[in-house]
Amino acid sequence: MLTALQLADGAMALLWTLLRVSGVVILAPLLGAMYIPARVRILLAAALAFALLPSAGAAPAIDPLSPLGVAAIAREISVGATIGFVLRLATEAALLAGQLVSTGMGLSFATVVDPQNGGMPLLGRFYIIVGSLLLLATNAHLSLIALVAQSYAVLPIGSAGFGAPEARLVVDFAALMFAGALQLALPAVIAILMVNITFGVISRAAPTLNLFAVGFPVTILMGLLILVVTFRSQGPVWDSLIGEAFGLIGRLFGGA
């Protein structure tokens, strides 16, 4: 039978484990989406923390209310938030690509009210949904949980956490997000640009033609057609972004 001291030690270990897991749940895609109710996210974080207790080990002998304990709490949350933030950067490339294509097609006028991202173009929401489904289809959520479990072996609870070199790796990874967004959006943007150049030539030949009434539907139709044609070829870009994100997380933990 468990004693009161054993229950107290187990509860303290669960709370320390919950700190890093909460950082991941706050920022990771899917897990940290604002459309998921707060109670569900809290229960999900608690369930993951309980499942990761064997990997996290015993609670450190640190008073949580002391200055050293407050610093340790902040480090645990920052470690988890860094893991979620790296994966979030990979999926944010989809949002940026959707915004680029929407602007070229003229769909930026119509925005979706999103509590997480504010006013979002329609194609931005479409790309985010596709990216989220790909994360689930490739079991990226399971890989994320496995990396969090392995992180406790490299950075135990109460350790020093990440330093300046690791922070630089995360900042450099943002460049990959912009490159991935351009790769996703470039075919549609180029096609729409050619359509706009064509209408520019027509406007010089027929100045009285109402190009806004004629060109706007054609631009949207061409953009949607290009999306359908090029969507199958975008799989390697998605795989590369997700793979680079998990590769970076592995490097942050020394190849964990």
Cβ neighbours of 256 (radius 10 Å): 17
Average pLDDT of every residue of the chain: 78
Given a cut of 70, whether residue 241 has pLDDT beyond it is yes
Please write the tens of the pLDDT for every residue from 46-92.
888 888 888 877 777 777 778 887 888 888 888 888 888 888 888 88
- As a whole number, mean pLDDT of residues 27-40 equals 77
Confidence class for position 4, pLDDT limits 50, 70, 90: low
pLDDT at 123: 76
14: Cα within 13 Å, side-chain hemisphere: 12
CB 248 within 8 A of CB 173: yes
Please write the tens of the pLDDT for every residue from 91-126.
888 778 878 887 777 776 666 555 555 566 677 777
Cβ neighbours of 51 (radius 10 Å): 13
Cβ burial, residue 34 (10 Å; 0-12/13-18/19+): exposed
Q: In whole angstroms, what is the distance from residue 153 CA to residue 72 CA?
A: 16
Report pTM: 0.76
pLDDT at 256: 47
Given a cut of 70, whether residue 219 has pLDDT beyond it is yes
pLDDT at 125: 76
Question: Which DSSP helix (H) or strand (E) runs through 121?
Answer: strand 118-121
